Structure 1
Amino acid sequence: MTKIESKIKHSNTDVLIIGAGPSGLMAATWLARTGVPFRIIDKRSNKIFSGQADGLQSRTLEVFQSFSGSTFDMRGLDSAWKMANHMNEFCFWSPDETGKLVRSSRIPDSIPGISRFQQIVIHQGYIEKWFDETIKTFSDGKSKVERPFLPISLDIDESKVEDKDAYAVKVLVKDLSKDAVADPEQFNSNVANGLYRQFEGDQDKFYTNIADIENDPNVKLDDYEVINCKYVLGADGAHSWVRKQLGIEVEGESTDFVWGVLDSVPITDFPDIRHRCAIHSVDSGSVMIIPRENDLVRLYIQLKEVPRDPSTTSGTSGANSKGRIDRSKITPELILKNAQDILKPFKFEIEDIEWFTGYQIGQRVSPKFDKFNRVFISGDACHTHSPKAGQGMNVSMMDTFNLGFKLALVCKGLAKFDILKTYESERIQVARELIAFDHKLSRLFSGKPMIPNSTVIQEGVDMDEFHRVFQKGGEFASGTTVNYGESSLIDLSATSPVDEDGRSFSLVATNIPVGRRLETTLIESQADGRVIHIVDRTLSDGRFRVLIFSGDVHTHPSNLKILDEFNTFFESNKHFGKKFTPVNAFDNSVIDVITIHGSRRHDVELFDFPEFTRPVDYKNRLDYWRLYTGVDTTYHQGDIDAYEAYGIDKKEGAIIVVRPDGYVAKVTGFNIRGLEDIDKYFNKFLIPQTTNVLTPKDKSSNDRDRFVKPLLAV
């Protein structure tokens, strides 16, 4: 401990999140929802400017929905869906054989049927605000982003990293709220912009060396704090301070392609201004049009000529000779001039400029996402790329959506420390696929187009290839096709060989790829006939789900007898539900068992089924939401058939294990051996809770808020 640290206040927290962008906020949402102590700090004194990231992909919206239930709501989903601009059609424009700019094709902006949500666009400031409100709701007002806090030093005690209860990481931070800290540089522009954050080396000046603090007689000790942490997450951007403290160097390259971004209201006769468009001009560059909320349109514009600082070199591949970009010369006027040249012969002027920036295209990925499974990095700290496919904010949030529930399980003593290793193994593959996709797409986007049937220009980007890459990339860009491989949390035993799309299936559920997110389908409550999406019954609250598809018990009475055998299994103290749930906690507060039979609802009665499908709690209240039918003709939604959707036989049935993040972890048969296999699966990473005795629940207490409060192990 340094001299300054011995003189200032100390505090403890399970998880410290450094960086309150979307990736950090997603992690905070998980921890708030699961009741894990955490803090989240950010060096910005202000909320985000308009602009920055603006696209929400299908999977991200599914995740937002997964934090919303019938009695609580993640503010982002409903608000975003109502306020955002919905992307329906993508138009491609390129030169014809005469060099005239023409529309070459149209495609759906999102792949039809890939999700119940399509891509939408709305600026990042709204999204961060909704996260803030959700975190406040889930934490009962106890947690919020602390601004402006600057991390000064980070130390890992290697002697403690294997002790799951130890505060093995120490972070010295400074409260900047009493300092006269100016807003980030705006480069003499009166329009909000992101230029200050787009180029390497800019953010180092915001940090202070601890030696400088100790030698400064004017240091105010009250401004400093040592936060002792079990875990630290660095969600602090492309020039991540946390990553630098870990000594991790990103790998990749930059190009000499420079793009400007401009948010404004256009005045134009270009007919597709309210569609997403990719436009290649003959020799003036390219532009992507993103229509946004409130009449705004975002332009990603290739800048043909960009002023350089002759006294510098960029030090990056492909741009060494020209020197560092002079960002002070990137203005809305410069960006607009380039857009006008690209869009000729269409007229193009703008009003109501809200935001602009400039950036160089490059693709980089970190070779490591953690150190000792104690300090993690996520989002832009792990991977940087161009914004063409709308992946930056989305993939960043999915990083911590993957990590958050694992931290929660470990912090609450429910799971072994080793599950944290699966964060890097699962997400680094996604990052590499993202970089490869973006590398190809950005170069096709930035290159000069090949003119069809031209005898003058024979070289350039083949527009047909560009269309194919963009359409194929639509699946990846949606975020719905991520595959997680074999690990302690994904059991691919008894599945088919991986197909050309990377999927593995079980013979008993032939339409459910193991290792992918559970695609939704409709099911109907046995108790009241309400029809819901199955994923709305498997929300993000930290719990595993065991979905028992018991088949058609009316046509096959023997299936009901199997359920009776299951009841005996679940009454045993040795089964996975009781074994891994704290004593006196709700029986489904770690592993939630849900039965979905295959009979029509009116052919069976609620009390035909054994007690584990309709249990009672400590107040003798019956839980009606454990039993559903997957097959029926409903009053308002027509015919539903979850068995057909998932490829499950109505005689044989199946059992599906779903992780807390909605990914299918295991598929097995509908029999006692299947339950035993699931018990073996949980035994690999969950910790028995037989000695973890909670205070008995008070029958006289008022617990009507139990649906909003954390549900994990309570």
Structure 2
Amino acid sequence: MATDGTLPDSKVDVLIIGAGPAGLMSACWMAHCGVTTRIVDKRNNKIYCGQADGLQCRSLEIFDSLGFADRAWKEANHMIEICMWNPGPDGAIRRSDRIPDTIVGLSRFQQSVIHQGRVERFFLDNIKKYSKNTIQVERGVLPESLEIDETKVEDDSAYPVTVKLRHLTEEESTPEQQINGSKVSDGIFRSNLIQEDDEDDLIRKSKSRAGTGEVVHAKYVIGCDGARSWTRRALGFELQGEATDFIWGVLDIIPITDFPDIRMRCAIHSAEDGSLMVIPRENKMVRLYIQLKEVTPDASGRADRSKITPEIILNAAQKIISPYKIDYEYCDWWTAYQIGQRVGTDFDAHKRVFLAGDAVHTHSPKAGQGMNVSMQDAYNLGWKVALASKGIAKRSILGTYGSERRRIAQDLIDFDHRFSRLFSGRPAKDVMDEEGVSMEEFKDAFEKGNRFASGLIVNYGPSELVIKAPEPSEEGDQRKVDGSAVTGLSADALAKKQALAPGLPIGMRFNSYKILNQSDARPWHFQERLKSNGRFRVVLFAGNILNLEQAKRVEKFCEALDAPTSFYRTANPAGSSLDTVIEVLTIHSAKRTETELLRDFPEVLHPFDPHTGWDYDKVFVDDESYHEGFGDAYANYGVDKERGCVVVARPDQHVGWIGELEDFEGLQKYFEGCLVLGPKV
């Protein structure tokens, strides 16, 4: 057998393993923040069909902050209504209810569907643009070993993680299909029905060829390599949870049917033949999630995947949807899976190697959460790793990733556990049928689940990044760092700070209402100004700036902000612009036509550049627009229109701190707790 001899080695700030949605979200942050990065994937090509398809409201908000929500929104099929179908007295299915798919008023976006391959394309184009083509997915590359030098993990300048990589041939990196020779792609190779892993065999084959290996020394590694994650296994971590006996098949087809709601999202319970979910897709396609009652696990607890074919899945769908007919001529993709809910024992090792997405939690796909929660894991983690790797943020903030996202993963598992059993259960025949599922209970779970699934009720617990009092639901957090421990303030004092803006719950994402640019009267959703570029935002609700006393309060706050020793000036790397790390945005409540940018607002709120003049894009007003109505932001945020307040938005748009204009010391402490302040090289 040939040997590699001395392997070439290199250094990189961040190595990402896996180029699915979580890996690409991680790479996207690195591109936007200017971090040297490599991203590798053992498969030789991106996804072109099938896999995940649901985009929840929060994911679209995140896409907008990155700059490509418009592409997804235009191409996707928008989900407007859900129809419930249940057995009637005669046992035949009939439409029993209609509910809105997305709760009205939650977001400026609604749930939509588009296949994962297009989402990955949007990411790849965005990464290319912002990295100036320096970050590219390296396909057919597989990690062989991972080592962490524990003596160097606390050294900010060190590269303590060593990963050996192997380069595969085209044949080795092509996944096997379930039915050889079929023109229809399947996703069985990614399904949890597959337990065996092919990495060892692929590494053995690669080793037999000279020049296929290399060594990479990284500051940080992010493992986004799926439910059978190589990275997780290399760290010795496990997924803990259980599998059920429920087996489901999935078909992406252009349906030929007389079912009247085929272009609506539908939850269908048959009397005896199982359940089915209809997801209308783009390009006339429909995705069917079909319970396979005739396929059962064997003694080992796993179903025999060789017995599952598109024909068997369609036959099950035809029984469930009867007396309506359904067939197809075109099938784009199919797969099958066994419902199971598991959460990782650990989310990181030494705050140097992290796991995100399916690598650290798995669940059923019917709630449209897999791709969304995976991307949102990486959205939470990416900016923290980027700022820590650049020496802008303290490494201690990396510990908040596990505490914040573990709660979300556990909430998701709990929700999915209940939802999947209600969906898979037989409908109750009457009130005395204790083994059957109450359809009223199912509808209630569906409606509550939609709110959860939107991603908009995520509420991070207290830490150095979220200054608030702990809540009962947060007692499960592993890191017991609450707001009072960071600030020395009592829970009552912290509650009073929250009362300054009750419509902006600390720990939740910054909700969005329309405001106007002071200088040109253009209306904006405020969230549109919170771009994902690694910056924190200090949002000054300046109140009634025309009131003399309020103007003095604003002026005093701005004097402190502009002082040489303030966090605003000492957070920036040497030679960078004033708002490289922290951007100050202002929303006032006086009449736009009675105020003037240069007359009424201190210079620090609209800085002057000798080359480009005044900055006209940082001061906004809560006023009525000519064409888009009145957002009434102050009222919706619950902020006093005379006195205002100050709010910190983290780089991921979550609210981190709220205080009075006079509480500059508290604001300073917030940034001292999470950023590296002072002179930088």
TM-score (norm 2): 0.93
SS in 2 for 1:509: coil
- What's the counterpart of residue 251 of structure 1? 240
Q: Contact (CA 8 Å) 2:152, 2:158: kept in 1 or not?
A: yes
Say which is worse superposed, 41-50 or 439-448, in terms of deviation.
41-50
Output one character per residue of 1:483-531: Cα deviation in whole Å (capped at 9) or x when no partner: 00100100015x99989xx997712112110100000011111111111
Output one character per residue of 1:546-566: Cα deviation in whole Å (capped at 9) or x when no partner: 011111122x22111122223
- What's the counterpart of residue 458 of structure 2? 482
RMSD: 2.2
Q: Go from structure 1 to structure 2 and tell me whether the alpha carbon gap of 1:687 and 1:458 turns closer, same or farther (over 3 Å shift).
A: closer
1:533 and 2:532 correspond:
no
Q: Go from structure 1 to structure 2 and tell me whether the alpha carbon gap of 1:331 and 1:107 turns closer, same or farther (over 3 Å shift).
A: same
Q: Contact (CA 8 Å) 1:307, 1:329: kept in 2 or not?
A: no
Residue 354 of structure 1 and its aligned partner are, at CA, apart by 0.5
Q: Which amino acid aligns with 2:143?
A: P
- What's the counterpart of residue 702 of structure 1? none
Matching residue within 99, 106, 112 for 1:120 = 112
Q: Contact (CA 8 Å) 2:4, 2:212: kept in 1 or not?
A: no
Matching residue within 143, 148, 155 for 1:151 = 143
Matches within 5 A, 1:398-477: 398-452=376-430, 459-477=435-453
Q: Contact (CA 8 Å) 2:193, 2:303: kept in 1 or not?
A: no
SS in 2 for 1:624: coil
SS in 2 for 1:405: helix
User: How far apart are the structure 2 equivalents of 1:597 and 1:546?
Assistant: 14
User: How far apart are the structure 2 equivalents of 1:187 and 1:202?
Assistant: 18
SS in 1 for 2:503: strand
- What's the counterpart of residue 37 of structure 2? 38
Residue 340 of structure 1 and its aligned partner are, at CA, apart by 0.5
- What's the counterpart of residue 650 of structure 2? 659
Q: Go from structure 1 to structure 2 and tell me whether the alpha carbon gap of 1:370 and 1:4 turns closer, same or farther (over 3 Å shift).
A: farther
Output one character per residue of 1:585-615: Cα deviation in whole Å (capped at 9) or x when no partner: 1101111011211111111111122111221
1:140 and 2:116 correspond:
no
Output one character per residue of 1:643-691: Cα deviation in whole Å (capped at 9) or x when no partner: 11111111221000000000000010122xx222110110112112413
> Structure 2 regions of 5+ residues with no counterpart?
478-493
- What's the counterpart of residue 681 of structure 1? 670
Q: Go from structure 1 to structure 2 and tell me whether the alpha carbon gap of 1:277 and 1:379 turns closer, same or farther (over 3 Å shift).
A: same
Q: Go from structure 1 to structure 2 and tell me whether the alpha carbon gap of 1:257 and 1:565 turns closer, same or farther (over 3 Å shift).
A: same
Residue 203 of structure 1 and its aligned partner are, at CA, apart by 5.2
TM-score (norm 1): 0.89
Output one character per residue of 1:319-348: Cα deviation in whole Å (capped at 9) or x when no partner: 3xxxx4222221111001000111111111
Matches within 5 A, 1:187-586: 187-188=179-180, 189-199=182-192, 202=195, 204-208=197-201, 218-220=208-210, 222-306=211-295, 313-314=299-300, 319=301, 324-452=302-430, 459-492=435-468, 506-554=498-546, 556-586=547-577
Matching residue within 580, 602, 618 for 1:626 = 618
Q: Contact (CA 8 Å) 2:557, 2:661: kept in 1 or not?
A: no
Say which is worse superposed, 160-169 or 620-629, in terms of deviation.
620-629
User: How far apart are the structure 1 equivalents of 2:189 and 2:631?
Assistant: 53
User: How far apart are the structure 2 equivalents of 1:565 and 1:652?
Assistant: 13
Residue 413 of structure 1 and its aligned partner are, at CA, apart by 0.4
Output one character per residue of 1:300-334: Cα deviation in whole Å (capped at 9) or x when no partner: 000111277xxx743xxxx3xxxx42222211110
Residue 567 of structure 1 and its aligned partner are, at CA, apart by 3.2
User: How far apart are the structure 1 equivalents of 2:672 and 2:38?
Assistant: 31
User: How far apart are the structure 2 equivalents of 1:621 and 1:10?
Assistant: 47
SS in 2 for 1:342: helix
Matching residue within 597, 612, 619 for 2:588 = 597
Q: Which amino acid aligns with 2:285?
A: L
Q: Contact (CA 8 Å) 1:264, 1:297: kept in 2 or not?
A: yes
User: How far apart are the structure 2 equivalents of 1:376 and 1:4?
Assistant: 31
User: How far apart are the structure 2 equivalents of 1:287 and 1:478?
Assistant: 21
Output one character per residue of 1:104-151: Cα deviation in whole Å (capped at 9) or x when no partner: 111001111111100000110111111111100010111111111011
Q: Which amino acid aligns with 1:558?
A: E
Q: Contact (CA 8 Å) 2:75, 2:114: kept in 1 or not?
A: yes
SS in 2 for 1:364: strand
1:7 and 2:6 correspond:
yes
User: How far apart are the structure 2 equivalents of 1:80 and 1:511?
Assistant: 29
Matched length: 660
> Structure 1 regions of 5+ residues with no counterpart?
69-73, 693-714
SS in 1 for 2:604: helix
Q: Contact (CA 8 Å) 1:451, 1:458: kept in 2 or not?
A: no
- What's the counterpart of residue 100 of structure 1? 92
Q: Which amino acid aligns with 2:561?
A: F
Q: Contact (CA 8 Å) 1:150, 1:207: kept in 2 or not?
A: no
**Seq. identity, %:** 49
Q: Go from structure 1 to structure 2 and tell me whether the alpha carbon gap of 1:471 and 1:10 turns closer, same or farther (over 3 Å shift).
A: same
Residue 97 of structure 1 and its aligned partner are, at CA, apart by 2.0
Q: Which amino acid aligns with 2:526?
A: I
Q: Which amino acid aligns with 1:365?
A: V
Residue 185 of structure 1 and its aligned partner are, at CA, apart by 2.7
Output one character per residue of 1:446-482: Cα deviation in whole Å (capped at 9) or x when no partner: 11111247x8x66311111000011111111000000
SS in 2 for 1:239: coil
Say which is worse superposed, 607-616 or 223-232, in terms of deviation.
607-616
SS in 1 for 2:327: strand
- What's the counterpart of residue 186 of structure 1? 178
Q: Contact (CA 8 Å) 2:268, 2:277: kept in 1 or not?
A: yes
SS in 1 for 2:545: coil
